[in-house]
Amino acid sequence: AMEEVCAKFVSQKISKTRWRPLPAAALQPPDLFATGSWDNEDNRVSIWSAGDVGNAGINGEYQGEPQLLCDIRHNGDVMDMQFLDQERIVVASSTGTVTVFRHHQNNQTLSASHRWEKAHYHVDQDTSCGGAACTGVICNNPEIVTVGEDGRINLFRADQKDAIRTIDNADSSTLHAVTFLRTTEILTVNSIGQLKIWDLRQQRNEPSQILSLTGDRVPLHCVDRHPNQQHIVATGGQDGMLSVWDIRQGTMPVSLLTAHEAEMWEVHFHPSNPDHLFTCSEDGSLWHWDTSTDVSEKPSFLHQGGRSTTYFSHNTTNQSVVSAWLSNDPTKDRMEITNLIPNQTLSVNSLDILGPCLVYGTDAEAIYVNRQLFA
């Protein structure tokens, strides 16, 4: 099944890959994605067209590799990036700065439209070398939340100069990632294996809930929330394990699944079909976890005339999804796990999925697009 994957060598180590969100009613597959690089003399944020959609081949397969539309220099390593809307991308830097870039589609250029200098910093903002890496960013337009090495949480609003809210000592260890649970609540993961829930309506700078991995305090690097079940959260850590949590009950994960042989860098539920989950790792692998119960019930991603239908039949109800991820051992009776990269190379740093399309980036200076994930 490797034929559907298109590789593009970009002479930059890729730290982040993100699909541009589709307009609400769009039927077509995603067409543009952004990448950020790290550990290069000159890091860049780039916008790519995913390939020539017009040229669907005789079996509906896509022709053509990703094309660079535009790029812009980025100061520091790109630590995280999220689309704020169709035009704007929020980028977190290892220098502690957070930048909003705007993609001008009329002339295919990128420009920095807003910058929060040293949103994250050690000691004090005036020290020249005081920047602390901004490790994670999440957007719920117009709100932007960032977390960093300095244990700080910032709440920004697009186009407003100063932070709306800063929780200075949110954590005494490094915060690695953040996600929205709902519009007023965020969840952070840190370097000592803790999940913390923060209610942004509360003025006090304390988490409303703390959950943690027992025992080893393994650093957690990534987190994602189930798109329909706000209480289900997946995290990945230093040891490559996948943890699934039900934040309504207990303070420990519901299931711990042995996954990668090294750090898990990202975990993502499929946004419209969350019984599919994807993880990528330092060990050079990218896993597709499939808990959809019955193969005959699987949604069809049929390509008709270059379009993909992503309507899900109602028999894949949320109930089956819940019980799958929250059963004590989802692997036992109904989980298929596929490594989508058979010949492992260097670290797979980032992945994103939208509709039938997957994009991922690696330290082998390549980006890969698979447009027929469910073929």
Q: What is the CATH T-level fold of the domain 19-53+63-294+321-370, as seen in this structure?
A: Methylamine Dehydrogenase; Chain H (2.130.10)
What ranges make up the beta strands (E) of 149-294? 153-157, 165-167, 175-182, 185-190, 194-199, 209-212, 220-225, 232-237, 242-246, 255-257, 264-269, 276-281, 286-290
| Nearest CA among 173, 178, 266 for reference residue 217 | 173
The DSSP call for residue 3 is G
Q: What is the DSSP string of 105-162?
A: TTTTEEEEEEEETTSSBSS-TTSTT-B--EEEEEEETTEEEEEETTS-EEEEETT-SS
- What's the rounded Cα separation, in Å, for the pair 254 and 197? 17
Q: How confident is the model at residue 63 (pLDDT cuts 50, 70, 90)?
A: low
- Calculate mean pLDDT across residues 49-54: 71
Q: How confident is the model at residue 155 (pLDDT cuts 50, 70, 90)?
A: very high
Which of the pair, 53 or 254, is modelled with greater confidence? 254
pLDDT number for residue 300: 38
Q: Which amino acid is at 317?
A: T
3-state SS class at 164: coil
Burial class (CB in 10 A: 0-12, 13-18, 19+), 276: buried
**Residues in the chain, overall count:** 375
- pLDDT exceeds 50 at position 319: no
- Calculate mean pLDDT across residues 205-228: 92
- pLDDT exceeds 70 at position 299: no
Which of the pair, 179 or 57, is modelled with greater confidence? 179
What are the domain boundaries of the chain? 19-53+63-294+321-370
Which of the pair, 139 or 328, is modelled with greater confidence? 139
- pLDDT exceeds 50 at position 314: no
Tens digit of each residue's pLDDT (9 = 90 or more) over 246-272: 999 888 888 889 999 999 999 999 999
Both tokens of residue 152?
């700080």
Global pTM reads: 0.87
- What's the rounded Cα separation, in Å, for the pair 300 and 296? 10
- Calculate mean pLDDT across residues 97-122: 96
Q: How confident is the model at residue 335 (pLDDT cuts 50, 70, 90)?
A: confident
